[in-house]
Amino acid sequence: MPDAPRSRSLYPLRGVAGQGQIWSWISFDVANQSFTLLINTVLFSVFFQNVVVRDTTRDDTLWSITTAISMGLVVLASPIAGAIGDQRGWKKEALLGTGFMCAVLTCCLALIQPGQLWLAMLLYIPANFCFAIGENFLASFLPQLAKRGNFGRVSGFSWGVAYFAALVLLAVTAGLMLLLELDSADKWRLFFVIAGVWFGLFAIPTLLFLRERPAQKAGGNTPKQSLIGEAFSRLGSTLRNIRKHRDLVVLLVATLIYCTGTYTVIFFASILAKEFGFNEVDLVVYIAVLTVAGIVGTLVPTMLQDRLGHRKTTAALLVVWIIASGLMAVYAWQHAVWQGNGGLAAHNGVPFHTWPMWALGSLLGFGLGALGSANRAFVGFLTPASRSGEYFGLWGMVVKLAAVFTIPFALVKDSWGTPAALLVLTGFFVAGLVATLFVDEVRGARAADVEEAILVAAERAK
């Protein structure tokens, strides 16, 4: 793939080596946007509740359980898959294998008919598994694509390009909804096919151009092991060594806490918008607004993170999340009071004001884009390049475990209402901020450099 142009001073990656490799990596970030956006965030969650389940007393809980099962499987598989990827040099194969499988399964979601809960679960769970574990392998390429001082720029720029692609995808979706009058969830199967085809097409540049660093070879006197045996042996070594990376461990704990909040927003954004009175077209436009805010949000880590510092950037973004989710809890409480006072009937047909939802959604979109990119770069900053697959496998395990922990939000929402659930959401970000403040990024980067030097020296000695 030819190098991208570098002449413009505003180009964020100006001066960064390996432009072609970086762009082939970015292409996969663009590819998987179709799944995280159309399937997890915008359409399938509503389709699942309104077409498949059709029971308002348990729809939130069933959706949360379904996503949690798929993420639970990723939690179990991530560290072993990451270890195998590093040991055998299979990260690219795993990335593309899970990507193309996700694309096919996403198209198959169009086969689901009303009431077919088990079919929906049998198709969505492996599709989300492939998407989620692919994210781990995608992130694990970051340490070999850029120097540590450029992680924020590269990760943030890639995230921003992906968000821009998502905006294009949303425009196509809204246009088709209006043109073909696809104004109800039972008419959305076409979009599942579009999402799968988009995923497959944009994964092709990654297939053709992305190169993987060769795996380290075991020494000649090392007894041969099975693939799984090698993986567990390497993972055991990683877990023993990770005690030397206490700042990475603390960051992973913080990630577990606040990513529970971000996954809650991803899985329930459309559901909350529908609850506050948005129609189908409003919903797509609303997510588009969040996406534009997300593009703006990615500029923060792209332009500032490497200079400001990873901890300060992350802490500032978590403050934004705390403010936005706290205000949304207040808004939900006001909506509940309005409904309790008779809603439309008691207010002469005047609907509840939705403009605060647009404003708060924009703030959440800003935080989602910025925090996701910043977290990926922060983990890469504290990770030895030669163990990136394993460490990002642990990262993936933690992030996907956070998705499992969205179940309390759903249970509280079904049992005590949306305002109480949004207070739970705010609590996740407060706790995540407190944990983040205990990370020393300078000490953590030093520990990563020491381990990388030891690994390189051991490889040269063989």
Which pLDDT belongs to residue 193? 97
Angle at 303 between CA 384 and CA 387, to 5 degrees: 10
pLDDT in tens, 186-212: 999 999 999 999 999 999 999 999 998
**Cα R_g (the chain), whole angstroms:** 22
Q: Which two tokens stand for residue 97?
A: 């294998």
The torsion defined by the Cα of 440, 445, 451 and 455, in degrees rounded to 10, comes to 160
Q: Which of 176-190, 240-254, 293-307, 399-413 has the highest mean pLDDT?
A: 176-190
Q: Percent of the chain having pLDDT more than 70?
A: 88
Q: How confident is the model at residue 7 (pLDDT cuts 50, 70, 90)?
A: very low
Full DSSP string of 160-185: HHHHHHHHHHHHHHHHHHHHHT--SG
> Cα 63 to chain center, whole Å?
18
For 6, other C-beta atoms within 10 Å of its C-beta total 12
- Average pLDDT across the chain, whole number: 84
- pLDDT at residue 23 above 50? yes
pLDDT in tens, 122-159: 999 999 999 989 988 898 898 888 887 788 788 888 88
Angle at 273 between CA 269 and CA 275, to 5 degrees: 120
Q: How confident is the model at residue 406 (pLDDT cuts 50, 70, 90)?
A: confident
Torsions phi, psi for 113 (to 5 deg): -110, 165
Rounded CA gap, 131 and 285, in Å? 25
The torsion defined by the Cα of 430, 35, 77 and 160, in degrees rounded to 10, comes to -60
CA atoms within 13 A on the CB side of 106: 33
Which is more confidently placed, 342 or 213? 213
Q: How confident is the model at residue 218 (pLDDT cuts 50, 70, 90)?
A: very low
Q: Percent of the chain having pLDDT more than 90?
A: 34
- Coil, helix or strand at residue 209: helix
Rounded CA gap, 299 and 295, in Å? 7
CB–CB of 98/28 below 8 Å?
A: no
CA atoms within 13 A on the CB side of 262: 27
Rounded CA gap, 132 and 397, in Å? 10
> Which amino acid is present at 332?
A
Rounded CA gap, 322 and 356, in Å? 16
List of residues 6+ apart from 3 with CB closer than 8 A: 19, 20
Which residue has tokens 């092991």? 225
Rounded CA gap, 317 and 297, in Å? 9
Rounded CA gap, 418 and 420, in Å? 6
Rounded CA gap, 174 and 298, in Å? 24
- pLDDT at residue 220 above 50? no
Which is more confidently placed, 169 or 383? 169
pLDDT in tens, 59-79: 778 888 898 899 889 888 877
Residue ranges of domains in the chain, CATH in brackets: 19-206+226-461 (1.20.1250.20)
CB–CB of 140/388 below 8 Å?
A: yes
**Cα end-to-end span (Å), the chain:** 34
For 229, other C-beta atoms within 10 Å of its C-beta total 11
For 182, other C-beta atoms within 10 Å of its C-beta total 18
CB–CB of 174/281 below 8 Å?
A: yes
Which pLDDT belongs to residue 452? 79
Rounded CA gap, 297 and 152, in Å? 13
Q: Which of 22-31, 69-78, 301-310, 450-459 has the highest mean pLDDT?
A: 22-31
- pLDDT at residue 301 above 80? no
List of residues 6+ apart from 34 with CB closer than 8 A: 106, 169, 194, 195, 196, 198, 199, 202
Which pLDDT belongs to residue 258? 94
Which pLDDT belongs to residue 1? 45
CB–CB of 109/123 below 8 Å?
A: yes
- Coil, helix or strand at residue 81: helix
Q: Which two tokens stand for residue 226?
A: 């099975």
- pLDDT at residue 359 above 90? no
Which pLDDT belongs to residue 462? 64
CB–CB of 294/368 below 8 Å?
A: yes
